Amino acid sequence: MEELGLSERQLTARFLHRTSPSTAYARLFCFPFAGGSAAAFVPWVEELKSAGIDVWSAQPRGRGMRFNEPPHRSVKEMAEDYMEVIRRRQDLPFAFYGHSLGGLLAFELTLQLEAEGLVPPKHLIMGATAPPVLGLIHPRIAHLPDDGFMVAVRERYAGIPDAVLGEPELLELFLPGLRADFAAHENFDRSHVRQVHCPITALAGSDDQMIDAAKMREWGQHTTAEFDLRIIAGDHFFFSASRDSVLSTVREKMLDIPAAAPAFLMRSGFTES
């Protein structure tokens, strides 16, 4: 771990990881929505483990084991933080899943890996993430005073739990990270169309009023490889309510990864006929 310039604790803190890599044929790095944490993808770990997929869930600064670290202020800053780990975790073929803000981060990480001449993800899966080619599709709110910011987030996504709103102490802890995430999203570079060279699958919530299927289809402009659009039942946070459908798509797309699947995976029914 010394080559990373990180302690074991610092390295572990960047990604929540519970699956033994000795049983995996591929790795899935997951990146959460604004205000989210690595805990969002904990239910995926065991379900994808049986498919031979090793799940690593990103932990943003200011949350979980990283509570004492200042929040990231830009998507580029997020990307460099996680790149310190991903550069050294290329022992297995891998894919990225990013939800909402996490999709922009996954896209930025892919661009950076390609720019550095490192192995990029074999597949990029986006959930409810507005493609940069559309520009910033919502008004900026990160600069608003606390009360106005909370109202704007609630109106847009119903994104602040009632339990947090009712506890001023919890709200004081929660808001800085959420505000920083919104600022990172709003200030993401959308000045020109950048493309990756791996396949992209875009997942759109059937009832997502903010980022519908028509918008998600424009992710096709951001890849030189194959593009697929899937409609998932639910609103902006469908990855939780329709987890089975999302994980089914993840398994399907990761089967396209050109690696020899182990025998147990073939017996489990997750290989193509």
Beta-carbon contacts of residue 110 (< 8 Å; ≥ 6 apart): 96, 120, 121, 124, 196, 198
Write out the DSSP string of 91-119.
Answer: SS-EEEEEETHHHHHHHHHHHHHHHTTPP
Percent over 70 (pLDDT), the chain? 86
- Three-state SS at 54: strand
Catalytic residue among 100, 206, 242, 273: 100
pLDDT at 9: 65
What pTM was estimated for this model as a whole? 0.89
Residue recorded with tokens 């999302």: 246
Supply angle C-alpha 213, 32, 139, rounded to 5.
Answer: 60
Burial 31-57 (b: 16+ CB within 10 A, else e): bbbbbbbbebbeebbeebbebbbbbbb
Tell which wins on pLDDT, 245 or 261.
245
Q: Nearest CA to 30 among 88, 106, 128? A: 106
Task: Decide if 196 contacts 114 (C-beta within 8 A).
Answer: yes
268 belongs to the catalytic site = no
| DSSP symbol at 24 | -
Give the pLDDT band of residue 2 (cuts 50, 70, 90): very low
> What span, in angstroms and rounded, lies between the C-alpha atoms of 104 and 36?
14
Query: Which amino acid, one-letter code, is at 233?
Result: A
Q: What is the largest CA-CA distance in the chain?
A: 56
Residue recorded with tokens 């302690």: 7
pLDDT tens-place string over residues 113-168: 999 999 999 999 999 999 999 999 999 999 999 999 988 998 888 666 666 667 77
Range 203-231 average pLDDT: 97
pLDDT over threshold 80, residue 47: yes
Range 250-257 average pLDDT: 88
Give the pLDDT band of residue 5 (cuts 50, 70, 90): low
> What span, in angstroms and rounded, lies between the C-alpha atoms of 90 and 74?
25
Of 20-34, 133-147, 153-167, 249-263, which has the strongest mean pLDDT?
133-147
Task: Decide if 39 contacts 48 (C-beta within 8 A).
Answer: no
Supply angle C-alpha 146, 142, 237, rounded to 5.
Answer: 95
